[in-house]
Structures are given as structure tokens and as C-alpha cells.
Amino acid sequence: MNPTPDDPVPTSDAVDPLDERLSAALDGEPIAGAPGPGDPALDSAAAAARGRALAAARDVLATPPPPLDDVTRRRLLDTARAAGPAPRRDRARWLGPAASVAAVLVAVVLGGWGLIAVLHGSSTSSKSSAAGQGAAAMTTGPLHLRSLGEISNPARLLREVRAELARRPSGDRSSVPGAACRGTVRVPTDVTLEVLARATFHGAPAVVLVGREPPRTLVYVLATGDCRLLSAQFFKG
Amino acid sequence: MPNSPDPRTDEELAQRAGHGDRAALDALLARHLDRIHAVCRRVLGDPDDALDATQEALIAIARGVARFDGRARFTTWMYRVATNAALDEARRRRRRPLPTALDTDSAATADPTAAVDARLDVDAALAALSPAARAAVVLRDLAGLEYSEIATVLDIPIGTVRSRIARGRAELADRMREPGTPSRSPNPSDVATERDPVTAVEPNET
């Protein structure tokens, strides 16, 4: 493990030589070249008492911390599983071209529709033109979601989510793309998820949901198409 | 989730998990979750930080198990991942008060069977050490690793492992000492209170 500039000031590894010898002896790891049994320093009553104290400390250090409850265990394992390895990449490779084909088809359909509308609109009155402008304004109503880019790297996901939370515009997020996915994620009853942004996860289009569970912020990444859970993370703040 | 333990070895499960066997990965993670959490909990001393580090470690194992080459024991690799996650978390977390150290009078009960007091003693004693020193003693006394394995996990010489373990035990022994027993004079350089890692650092992208 290489130190970084942010590492703490290194502490000295200096330790009482007798403690070190007694401690190593407890583990059956004698120090090469050091006096062993029979050495007066080790056989004294004081050394024996110190050895017992170190052994008691060792036993206490072996005390396991309080166990995790079942809900926390499940959440930890589910999140790790969702973040899991290779198979998703294979699927992502397939989803990438498929998503591109779908996007092209949608563009063609919408383009054709727009062309028809333009041709139709050229023969209508100014009144209907004004109505058309009103309709256009309504279609831009839902909040525009920014894309966070590729967020399969947890560090990048964390950074992008924090940045987006800091600058996100206010507005109605109930009808933005991906809002329907909110109901597919199981969260505590007091947590409300909202759609934060769009993104890609291993190339597949995704939507990012966030929810506050003080002192944590929960982050879920779901596939845009079928709301499949791709990643679940949390961070403090 | 089967009720009976999976009879396959860690290495067998890791190999299958590395080839995309989700069930093997699930079994592997479930088998070692408590060990990973215990190490993170003791190294960090804070339950919330420990959960964050445990989550990071589990994800790192899930994503990196394909890179486990089987040359070392799976647990050695796993503890390396877990310890790195805990130390990374220690670097990230913001400065906050260390767990309240037990004062000499209230810590003077030499009854190691008092479980709650013992746990407090462990956290208080470990809080006086740097995270790297904590990791060594935790990997030995809680995880049961050999000195050579700890040296591999922490990437330090065996002599450093030995001295860090001795220092951790000595710190706790002095806190558990009976009233009236003279304590060893502390080595000022060992007291990590003012320099515990609290600089907020974002994880490196890989």
C-alpha cells in the first residue's frame, strides 16, 4: 500500500522490546536472534505478569464486534450482488447496439411525424399555428434531465451524483423519463426516491434515483428500459 | 439461499464466481460477510464507517473475484480487499471526535468477561493507534492470520507486523490494568489522536 499525500503522519513502530518479544512468543513467532526461553529477562516474575496481561489483551481483541442484523446483511449482499461482475458487461455489449438501433427508429418516426406536422401546418390558419406553439411549449414542460455520462465506476458515480445534487434545477420530476422506475425499488417507507439524472452504465442507458435516509443518501441506478437495478450505493451526506 | 453451508472451498467458489457463477459469488460473499465487517468495524471503530467500508469491500470482491488467481489463499486476498476498504474509508472520513476513551478509574475493571466493557475497551484502545497499526492487530487477533499473511495483506515487513501487534496489545493491556499497577510510559509517537486520518479524500478511479 503506497502512502499518499493524504496519509496521516506515519507513526513510529517503536515498541517496548520486552512487549514485542512476549507478544511474538504468544503467537509462536519468536524473533530471530533474540534470546528465547531461559533468558532472565523473559523468565522474571515481572515478565511473566506482563505476558499474562498481553495474553488477556489478545483475548479481548479477539472479541468480535456486535453482529449485523439480517436486514443490514441482506442489503449489503444485495448491493454487492447488483454491482456484480462480468455477465452484465456481456449484456451491456448487446444492449449498446440495440439501444442505438432503437434510438434511430425513434428518430425516424418522430422525424416523419414532424415532417407531416410541418406540411399540415403550412395550410392551416394562424389560430391553429398559435395552438401548435402552445402544444410545443407543453411538450417541453417536464424537467430536462442532465446526463451524468458513464457511471459504472463507483467513484465517478459518487462524484457526479454529489455535483448534480448541488446544482440540480428545481421542478416537477414526477413525469420525467425514468420516474416510473421509482416504484420498482424497495426502500424504507420513510424514504422518497426522486429521479436525479440520466446516465449510462456500462454503455446501457440508465436513470439515477436518489433518496435521503439521514445521515445517508441512497443512490440507485436502473436500466431505463425495464427499470432493472444496475447499482445501489449510499454515501453520507 | 440454501440452509446448509456450501461444502465447496473458498477457492472453488471464487473460481466459479470468477467465471460468472452468481450462486457461487453469493455463497462466497455470504460466507465471509461477518469476517469482513468485523475487520472493518475494528479498524474504523465506528459502526457507520464500518458499514460503508464493508459495502465497498463486498463490491470490490464481487467485481474483482475474476482477478483472484489462486496463488494465495482466498481469505488472504479477501482480507487485503477488506483492509484496504477500511483504510480508504479512514482516509475519507471527516475529522470527528474519537470514541470516548475510558478514563483510568472506570476502565480499571480487570474482568474480561464483562462483554460490553470489553468492547468499549477494544475500541478505546484501538482508537489510540493509527489505522495501519489497528489493522495489524485486528488481522492477527480477530481474523487469526499468521504474521506472514498480515505482511502480505498490509504490504509491510514481518518485523513491522510484529511490532504493531505488540503495540496494540500493550495499549489494551495498559488500559485493562488493575488499579495501582504502574503503566508503561506511553511512547508519544504512538499516540495517534491528533493525527488520525480524517482528511476527506475521494476514492481513486480505477
B25-65 residue pLDDT tens: 999 999 999 999 999 999 998 899 999 999 999 999 999 99
For B24-84, what is the HEC assignment? Answer: HHHHHHHHHHHHHHHHHHHHHCCHHHHHHHHHHHHHHHHHHHHHCCCCCCHHHHHHHHHHH
Query: Strand A216-223's sheet: what is its strand order?
Result: A147-150, A194-201, A204-213, A216-223, A229-236
Q: Which of A2, A6, A23, A72 to mutate to test the interface with B (most CBs of B within 10 A)?
A: A23
Residue A195 has pLDDT above 50, yes or no: yes
Residue B85 has pLDDT above 90, yes or no: yes
- Residue B142 to residue A66, Cβ atoms within 8 A: no
C-alpha cell belonging to residue B170:
500493550
How confident is the model over B138-164, as a mean pLDDT? 95
Q: Which of B28, B167, B176, B198 to mutate to test the interface with A (most CBs of A within 10 A)?
A: B167
Nearest to B141 by CA among B175, B116, B171, B117: B171
pLDDT band at B121 (very low <50, low <70, confident <90, very high): low
For A187, which DSSP code?
-
Query: Vertex B92, ends B88 and B98: CA angle to 5°?
Result: 100
A-chain residues near B177 (CB < 8 A): 53
Q: Between B136 and A9, where is the model more confident? A: B136
C-alpha cell belonging to residue A222:
436502473
Q: Which candidate from B38, B41, B205 shows the least CB-CB separation from A153?
A: B205
B44 close to A (CB below 8 A): no
Quick check: bond before A169 cis, omega within 30?
no
Residue A221 has pLDDT above 60, yes or no: yes
pLDDT score of A128: 40
**SS3 of residue A232 by DSSP:** strand
pLDDT score of A113: 65
How confident is the model over A35-43, as a mean pLDDT? 65
Nearest to A13 by CA among B168, B126, B174: B168
Residue A198, phi then psi, degrees to nearest 5: -95, 165
**Amino acid identity for residue A80 in this structure:** A
Q: A15 with B167: CB under 8 angstroms? A: yes
CA distance B125 to B127: 5
How confident is the model over A179-208, as a mean pLDDT? 80
B23 close to A (CB below 8 A): no
Shortest distance, CA B205 to any CA of chain A (angstroms): 6
Shortest distance, CA B127 to any CA of chain A (angstroms): 13
